[in-house]
């Protein structure tokens, strides 16, 4: 076949002479497109091409807009426009005409119209709106081809929000008599399911009908949907296992029509689809797995023809066999099959063999041993892709004994690799291995130096961060710590003496920090040598300003003695006039601290790594300053989101106030950025059982970011480790010794004498596969291993370690925060002195709160933000309710009012009762009550006069809220000295941090004129937040669907065992969030805004803070929730 195809022509210029050749008739030489194409091929320069195309586009433009152009001509014009676009020239003028052509043309013209539309327009293009009608019309057409075209375009590019318009019609097509229509309809629904799963939820039973369709093509199409559904919820479809097995049996047995054969293999696509489904169903489920053993065995047996397609099926079979509940007989066959892949001379199969090995090595490490020579060969393969895959495999079998060899190989690869994505991934892996298994200090520092120089500025920022953290926190022995640091200082000094210009910025930052902190350890090293080396960095043109501020920081730590001060003066003079404010600040610090050594010792204490610094993140020491400024007439502070909002209101045109919200797209380009945390990101290829958690439901645990695994924090030296020591002759081997030592290792198979190069390979093999053999302590993927680990952290409780990390990052980056700390002691005083006014006002609400509690109706779950009258926030914009409280208000009235709460609400938590307004007759107060599914506003109308009042009319209105009256009628009456109660249920229309209600009460005495009073009531958005219970899988799908998001780092709460858990439980308690799952360093949380507007939260611990990412379909909701989270944590 391919020979037939390869008969083609070699070069385009020969085209003109083609007329005599047999293919010439089909070139439609007279067509305008033909002329254009030929014209282009004759050109020599890009510039000429540009000119020609512009000319062409002008002529197309002229013709399309002419009213005399027929649809047939239009079709031809569109083809030309498509061609120009393909060459990269925009022809946006033709878009509208493409839609017109799809609308008005006859079937053939329509087809071109639809094609042009699908090539020109993006999913988010506004012109697509115009297409909906055309599609609707064509879906209803009696012409099959028109229906097909409509279904095709629908599955190609239909935007989410237009799906409802056509969904019923597409659904209807599931019952169409023609199978091709049914098949296309199923695929279109599959596409809808991918972009908007909620919209097709109601037709799940129809999918089942499609699965049972008498046409195998329709059935095959429905499997796409089932694969997706089962991936999300395998439990829900276990009952279908037998059906899938039966279908597969029939397919394998050749029961399908010949039409479905591909190179005499029966329906391979269908087979693979089914195998993938079975794989999902049988995972961790013995009884389901048992149903499929037989058919899997048969599939293995039947796939015997030596063709790619059978290998594809075999590969899928093997994957399935290793994923489901194991059966030894099948495993054996599968292992043999993998052997065939690995040993195949075909490079593609070899590649897949390596992949399969990577996949199974977790369950069956001996398999890797069997193929060790092949693996060694692949390690030196000229094709980088093969090499890369081999390293991936080696990464999974690394242990303390082979780490040096494997890391060596990885670094070797990194030096030649040019693909950034691979580099980032691999650098992370090297760093992970180095930290986990480093045999000695020198090796560790050297390896990390290579990682930093190769990884450059593209690598994940966690790598340098955790490296520095590791250095500063130290390990069990002080002496070891000292040695490690000393070695780092030594090697960095010599690096700086060579060619610092070649080092990446990140590495320079690491170097300057280490030198700043630890160069005092090397006593014979003159301070001004280091200072001069650092100063040289400042002078280099390539040094970024971020690096410069790290360097200045290091110099600030170092400058002492006469020489130091003079260097410092010089440098600070240069940079104190820098345009970069950060640099200028650093220069100022350097200048001042270099002159005052006592202050410097206090601010930057040497070797202060151990005592955690306290940081007053609420900046309360500035309260005095703020209150003075306010008193002097300064505008009160508004948090950024509120400013944004006001700005947005001011500019009516800004539809999207927050730059962060990106348009939804599932495109591959932004994958790294927008990927759901429930998808595995950089994990290597296949993932097995033990890491399946991360593969599907779980969080992203694998891959570069996880530099420290859970075992990294293993604290004490355990007796088990000692015993492991015994088994390993010497864990501290240098690479040169490794070969020999490995060779003598008892596990390596003995070989008969072989020629030289072979011998080399065998030595390499034995050093690579050492420790892999059948001991019980085999450790793969670094999971649960009792092997000795060099860099064990001290027995820090996690809480103190996170506190320390916070401290550390502060001492690393900012001197000012250290200074803050000096003032921390004054915190208490400043509170008292700066807020006399507030505190006096505070007493009232506190009192009333106490009374409410005494009344028994105040529940512990009362969200904190509601009672924030007691929080001393002067800076915040929070409308402290207490401030509105009139001083003459008597506490007993609160008691009276809360006793008036309707019976059905009295058991629920409610906010304090706030007076709204009063005149001489009426006194209005209100509170809000949190019901599980609603927020109820209760308004108390107290008639303080002696006479009765009839016809009290209460009207409420709000921009942000939906208000509906719950009482029977809004008109009330109140007898003298009694209370009337109105209830309203509230829901949010438009989220904002505080939502406000305005209202008016009007009433009339039996005799007299009507009166009316206005009032307003403000309540925080957090009262509308309720927990939302979802599973991790559901969370994952929802995550991708939501377009509005915001990210921020929040402080962790560290007074508990596990900082993340502690922080999340505080948030859960205060804001009523639902914690979905916490896995390692990450947690996912869900909540909803009444009624059911979901908002999802993803938190990740990172360098002592919690990186929070909020997402929701509702604009502004993430920002508001972020605000409340921040407050909740601050108040804690």
Partner 1 sequence: MMRFLLLFSRQGKLRLQKWFTPMTEREKKKITRDMTTMVLSRQPRSCNFLHWKDLKIIYKRYASLYFCLAIENQENELIALEVIHRYVELLDKYFGNVCELDIIFNFEKAYFILDEFLMGGEIQETSKQMVNRSIEASDMLQETMEEYMSKPAF
In the range 66-125, which residues lie near partner 1 by CB under 8 A? 79, 82-83, 86-88, 106-109, 111-112, 115, 119, 122-124
Query: For partner 1, which stretch binds (CB under 8 A), given 153-161, 468-476, 787-795, 916-924?
Result: 153-161
Q: Which residues contact 905 (CB under 8 A, 6 or more apart)?
A: 929, 931, 936, 938, 983
Our CB check for partner 1 shows the closer of 682 and 772 to be 682
CB 113 within 8 A of CB 100: yes
Binding to partner 1, residues 273-302 (CB under 8 A) = 276
The residue (of 18 and 162) whose beta carbon lies closer to partner 1 is: 18
Beta carbon of residue 729, minimum distance to partner 1 (angstroms, whole number): 38
Q: How far apart are CA 417 and CA 423, in angstroms?
A: 7
Residue 1104 DSSP symbol: T
Residues 214-243 that bind partner 1 (CB under 8 A): 217, 221, 224
Residue 133 near partner 1 by CB under 8 A: no
User: Is the Cβ–Cβ distance between 230 and 280 less than 8 Å?
Assistant: yes
The residues, any chain, with a CB within 8 Å of residue 3's CB and separated by 6 or more, are: none
Residue of 1122, 1085, 1100, 1045 lying closest to 461 (CA atoms): 1100
Do residues 963 and 997 touch, judged by C-beta distance below 8 A? yes
Q: Is 659 an interacting residue with respect to partner 1 (CB under 8 A)? A: no
Contact 547, 508 (CB under 8 A): yes
Q: How far is the CB of 1031 from partner 1 (least distance, A)?
A: 21
Q: Where do runs of H (alpha helix) occur along 397-477?
A: 403-416, 420-437, 441-455, 462-473
Does residue 419 interact with partner 1 by CB under 8 A?
yes
Q: Map residues 612-651 to x or -, x wherever contact with partner 1 holds by CB under 8 A.
A: ----------------------------------------
With binding defined as CB under 8 A, does residue 668 bind partner 1? Answer: yes
The DSSP code for 1042 is -
Told to check if 141 binds partner 1 by CB under 8 A, we report no
795 touches partner 1 (CB under 8 A) = no
542 is an interface residue for partner 1 by CB under 8 A: no
User: Residue 1054: how many CA atoms within 13 Å on its side-chain side?
Assistant: 23
Nearer to partner 1 by Cβ, of 347 and 971: the residue is 347
CA 352 to chain centre: 29
Q: What is the largest CA-CA distance in the chain?
A: 120
Q: Is 1086 left (phi over 0), alpha (psi -120 to 50) or beta?
A: beta
**Window contacting partner 1 (CB under 8 A); options: 310-318, 721-729, 1021-1029, 1059-1067:** 310-318
In the bound state with partner 1, the residue whose beta carbon lies nearer, of 9 and 647, is 9
Is 183 one of the binding residues for partner 1 (CB under 8 A)?
yes
| Residue 665 contacts partner 1 per CB under 8 A | yes
DSSP 529-544: HHHHHHHHHHH-TT--
Q: How far is the CB of 272 from partner 1 (least distance, A)?
A: 6
581 is a contact residue toward partner 1 (CB under 8 A) = no
Question: With binding defined as CB under 8 A, does residue 494 bind partner 1?
Answer: no
Task: Report the SS3 class of residue 903.
Answer: helix
Q: Measured between alpha carbons, how far is residue 858 from residues 265, 405, 451, 970, 985 in Å?
A: 72, 65, 57, 27, 20
Question: Is residue 513 a contact residue for partner 1 (CB under 8 A)?
Answer: no
Per-residue H/E/C for 129-154: HHHHHHHHHHHCCCCHHHHHHHHHHH
3-state class percentages of the chain: helix first, strand second, coil last, to nearest 5: 60, 10, 30
Query: According to the binding rule CB under 8 A, does residue 934 interact with partner 1?
Result: no
Nearer to partner 1, 111 or 893 (CB): 111
Name the segment binding partner 1 (CB under 8 A); options: 385-393, 466-474, 712-720, 1096-1104: 385-393
Q: Is 20 in the site for partner 1 (CB under 8 A)?
A: no
The yes or no reply on residue 976 touching partner 1 (CB under 8 A) is no
Measured CA to CA, the distance from residue 240 to residue 231 in angstroms comes to 14
300 to each of 247, 274, 305, 612, 1041, how far by Cα in Å? 16, 14, 11, 61, 39
Using the rule CB under 8 A, give the single segment among 345-353, 552-560, 587-595, 639-647 that binds partner 1.
345-353
Residue 1090 and residue 937: Cα distance in Å, rounded? 14
Closest contact distance (angstroms) between CB of 724 and partner 1 is: 35
**Which residues are within 8 A (CB) of 523 and not within 5 positions of it... i.e. 6 or more apart?**
none
DSSP 875: S
Binding mask 1044-1083 for partner 1 (x = CB under 8 A): ----------------------------------------
User: CB 44 → partner 1: shortest distance, Å?
Assistant: 13
Q: Pick from 60, 64, 147, 148: which binds partner 1 (CB under 8 A)?
A: 148
CA–CA dist 483, 442 (Å, integer): 9
Q: Does 970 bind partner 1 (CB under 8 A)?
A: no
- Closer residue to partner 1 (CB): 144 or 660: 144
685 lies in the binding site for partner 1 (CB under 8 A): yes
- Among the listed ranges 244-252, 377-385, 466-474, 1062-1070, the one in contact with partner 1 (CB under 8 A) is 377-385
Q: Which is nearer to partner 1, 350 or 928 (CB)?
A: 350
Q: Which strand (E) or helix (H) includes residue 1002? A: strand 994-1004
Shorter beta-carbon distance to partner 1: residue 663 or 891:
663
Q: In Å, what is the CA distance from 552 to each residue of 118, 498, 532? A: 56, 21, 12
| Binding residues for partner 1, total number by CB under 8 A | 94
DSSP secondary structure code for residue 327 in this structure:
-
Task: Pick the binder of partner 1 from 63, 69, 73, 152 (CB under 8 A).
Answer: 152
- SS (HEC) of 955-970: EEECCCEEEEECCCCC
Nearest to partner 1 of 346, 710 (CB atom): 346
Check binding of 461 to partner 1 (CB under 8 A).
no
Residues 457 and 424: their CA atoms lie apart, in Å, by 10
Residue 26 as a binder of partner 1 (CB under 8 A): the answer is: yes
* Nearer to partner 1 among residue 31 and residue 477 (C-beta): 31
**Does position 1096 bind partner 1 by CB under 8 A?**
no
Among 59, 141, 250, 422, the residue binding partner 1 under the rule CB under 8 A is 422
Among positions 16, 19, 34, 610, the unique one binding partner 1 when judged by CB under 8 A: 34
Q: Is 28 in the site for partner 1 (CB under 8 A)?
A: yes
Q: Is 184 in the site for partner 1 (CB under 8 A)?
A: yes
Q: Measured between alpha carbons, how far is 15 from 564 in angstroms, rounded to an integer?
A: 76
* Interface with partner 1, residue 205, by CB under 8 A: no
674 binds partner 1 (CB under 8 A): no
Residues 992-1021 that bind partner 1 (CB under 8 A): none
Q: Is 162 in the site for partner 1 (CB under 8 A)?
A: no
Q: Is 382 a binder of partner 1 (CB under 8 A)? A: yes
Q: In whole angstroms, how close is the CB of 64 to partner 1 at the nearest point? A: 17
Q: Does 42 bind partner 1 (CB under 8 A)?
A: no
Of 1002, 992, 844, the C-alpha closest to 922 is 1002
Q: Is 191 in the site for partner 1 (CB under 8 A)?
A: yes
What character string, x for contact with partner 1 (CB under 8 A) and - otherwise, covers 347-376? xx-xxx------------------------
Exactly one of 63, 141, 199, 308 binds partner 1 (CB under 8 A); which one? 308
37 binds partner 1 (CB under 8 A): yes
Beta partners for residue 1109, in sequence order:
1047, 1098
3-state secondary structure 471-506: HHHCCCCHHHHHHHHHHHHHHHHHHHHCCHHHCCHH
């Amino acid at each position: 076949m391919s020979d037939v195809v390869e008969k083609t022509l070699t070069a385009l210029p020969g085209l003109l002479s083609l007329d005599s050749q047999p293919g010439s008739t089909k070139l439609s030489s007279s067509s305008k497109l033909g002329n254009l194409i030929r014209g282009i091929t004759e050109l020599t320069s890009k510039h000429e091409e540009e000119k020609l195309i512009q000319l062409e586009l002008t002529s197309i433009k002229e013709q399309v807009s002419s009213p005399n152009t027929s649809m047939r001509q239009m079709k031809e014009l569109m083809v030309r426009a498509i061609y120009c676009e393909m060459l990269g020239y925009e022809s946006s003028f033709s878009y509208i005409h493409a839609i017109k052509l799809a609308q008005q043309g006859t079937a053939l013209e329509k087809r071109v119209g639809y094609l042009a539309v699908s090539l020109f327009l993006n999913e988010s293009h506004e012109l697509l709106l115009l297409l909906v009608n055309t599609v609707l019309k064509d879906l209803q057409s009696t012409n099959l081809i028109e229906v097909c075209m409509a279904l095709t375009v629908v599955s190609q590019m239909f935007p989410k929000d237009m799906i409802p318009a056509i969904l019923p019609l597409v659904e209807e097509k599931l019952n169409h008599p023609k199978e091709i229509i049914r098949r296309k309809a199923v695929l279109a629904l599959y596409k809808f399911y991918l972009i908007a799963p909620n919209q097709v939820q109601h037709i799940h039973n129809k999918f089942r009908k499609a699965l049972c369709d008498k046409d195998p093509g329709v059935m095959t199409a429905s499997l796409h949907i089932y694969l997706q559904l089962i991936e999300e919820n395998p439990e829900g479809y276990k009952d279908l296992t037998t059906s899938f097995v039966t279908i597969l049996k029939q397919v394998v047995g050749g029961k399908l029509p010949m039409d479905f054969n591909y190179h005499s293999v029966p329906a391979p696509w269908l087979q693979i689809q089914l195998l993938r489904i079975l794989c999902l169903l049988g995972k961790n489920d013995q009884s389901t797995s048992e149903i499929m053993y037989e058919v899997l065995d048969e599939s293995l047996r039947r796939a015997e023809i030596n063709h790619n397609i059978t290998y594809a099926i075999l590969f899928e079979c093997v994957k399935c066999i290793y994923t489901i509940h194991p059966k030894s007989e099948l495993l054996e066959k599968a292992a043999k099959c993998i052997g065939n892949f690995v040993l195949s001379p075909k490079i593609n199969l070899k590649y897949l063999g390596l992949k399969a090995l990577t996949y199974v090595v977790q369950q069956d490490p001996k398999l890797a041993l069997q193929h060790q020579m092949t693996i060694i060969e692949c390690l030196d393969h000229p094709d980088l892709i093969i090499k890369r895959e081999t390293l991936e495999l080696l990464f999974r079998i690394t242990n303390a004994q082979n780490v040096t060899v494997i890391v060596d190989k990885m670094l070797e690869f990194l030096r030649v690799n040019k693909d950034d994505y691979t580099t980032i991934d691999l650098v992370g892996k090297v760093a992970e291995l180095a930290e986990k298994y480093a045999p000695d200090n020198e090796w560790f520092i050297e390896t990390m130096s290579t990682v930093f120089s190769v990884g450059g500025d593209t690598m994940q920022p966690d790598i340098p961060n955790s490296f520095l953290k590791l250095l500063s926190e130290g390990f069990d022995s002080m002496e070891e710590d000292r040695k490690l640091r000393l070695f780092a200082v030594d090697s960095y000094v010599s690096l700086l003496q060579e060619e610092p210009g070649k080092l990446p910025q990140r590495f320079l930052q690491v170097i300057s920090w280490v030198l700043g902190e630890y160069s005092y350890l090397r006593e014979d090293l003159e301070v001004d040598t280091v200072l001069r080396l650092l100063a040289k960095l400042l002078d280099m043109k390539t040094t970024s300003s971020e690096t410069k501020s790290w360097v200045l920081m290091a110099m600030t730590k170092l400058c002492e003695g006469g020489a130091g001060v003079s260097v410092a003066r010089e440098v600070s003079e240069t940079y104190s006039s820098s345009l970069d404010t950060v640099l200028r600040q650093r220069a100022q610090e350097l200048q001042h601290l270099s002159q005052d050594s006592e202050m410097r010792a206090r601010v930057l204490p040497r070797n202060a790594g151990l005592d955690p610094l306290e940081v007053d993140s609420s900046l309360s020491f500035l309260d005095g300053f703020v209150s003075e400024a306010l008193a002097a007439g300064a505008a009160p502070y508004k948090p950024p989101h509120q400013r944004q909002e006001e700005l947005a209101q001011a500019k009516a045109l800004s539809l999207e106030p927050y730059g962060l919200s990106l348009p939804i797209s599932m495109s591959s380009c932004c994958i790294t950025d927008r990927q759901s945390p429930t998808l595995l990101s950089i994990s290597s290829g296949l993932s097995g059982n033990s890491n399946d958690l991360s593969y599907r439901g779980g969080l992203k645990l694998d891959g570069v970011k996880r530099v420290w695994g859970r075992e990294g924090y293993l604290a004490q030296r355990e007796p088990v480790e000692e015993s492991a020591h015994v088994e390993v002759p010497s864990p501290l081997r240098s690479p040169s010794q490794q070969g020999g030592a490995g060779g003598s290792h008892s596990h390596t198979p003995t070989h008969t004498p072989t020629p030289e190069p072979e011998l080399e390979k065998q030595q390499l093999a034995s050093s690579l596969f050492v420790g892999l053999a059948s001991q019980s302590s085999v450790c793969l993927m670094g999971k649960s291993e009792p092997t000795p680990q060099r860099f064990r952290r001290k027995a820090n409780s996690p809480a103190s370690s996170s506190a320390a990390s916070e401290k550390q990052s502060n001492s690393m980056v900012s001197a000012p925060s250290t200074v803050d700390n000096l003032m921390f002691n004054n915190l208490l005083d400043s509170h008292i002195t700066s807020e006399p006014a507030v505190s006096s006002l505070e007493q009232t609400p506190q009192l009333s709160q106490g009374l409410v509690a005494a009344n028994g109706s105040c529940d512990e779950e009362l969200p904190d933000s509601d009672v924030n009258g007691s929080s001393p926030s002067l800076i915040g914009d929070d409308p402290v309710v207490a401030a509105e409280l009139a001083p003459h208000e008597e506490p007993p009235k609160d008691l009276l009012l809360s006793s008036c709460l309707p019976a059905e609400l009295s058991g629920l938590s409610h906010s304090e009762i706030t007076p709204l307004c009063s005149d001489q007759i009426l006194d209005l107060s209100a509170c809000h009550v949190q019901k599980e599914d609603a927020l109820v506003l209760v308004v108390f109308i107290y008639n303080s006069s002696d006479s009765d009042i009839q016809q009290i009319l209460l009207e409420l209105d709000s921009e942000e809220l939906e208000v509906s009256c719950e009482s029977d009628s809004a008109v009330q009456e109140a007898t003298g000295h009694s209370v009337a109660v109105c209830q309203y249920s509230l829901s949010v229309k438009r989220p904002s941090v505080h939502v406000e209600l305005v209202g008016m009460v009007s009433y009339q005495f039996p005799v007299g004129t009507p009166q009316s009073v206005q009032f307003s009531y403000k309540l925080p958005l957090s009262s509308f937040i309720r927990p939302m219970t979802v599973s991790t899988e559901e969370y994952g799908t929802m995550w991708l669907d939501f377009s509005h998001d915001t990210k921020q780092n929040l402080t962790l709460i560290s007074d508990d065992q596990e900082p993340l858990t502690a922080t999340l439980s505080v948030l859960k308690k205060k804001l009523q969030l639902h914690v979905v799952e916490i896995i390692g360093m990450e947690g996912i949380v869900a909540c909803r805004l009444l009624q059911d507007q979901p908002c999802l939260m993803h938190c990740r611990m990172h360098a002592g803070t919690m990186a929070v990412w909020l997402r929701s379909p509702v604009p502004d909701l993430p920002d508001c929730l972020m605000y409340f989270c921040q407050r909740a944590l601050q108040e804690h």
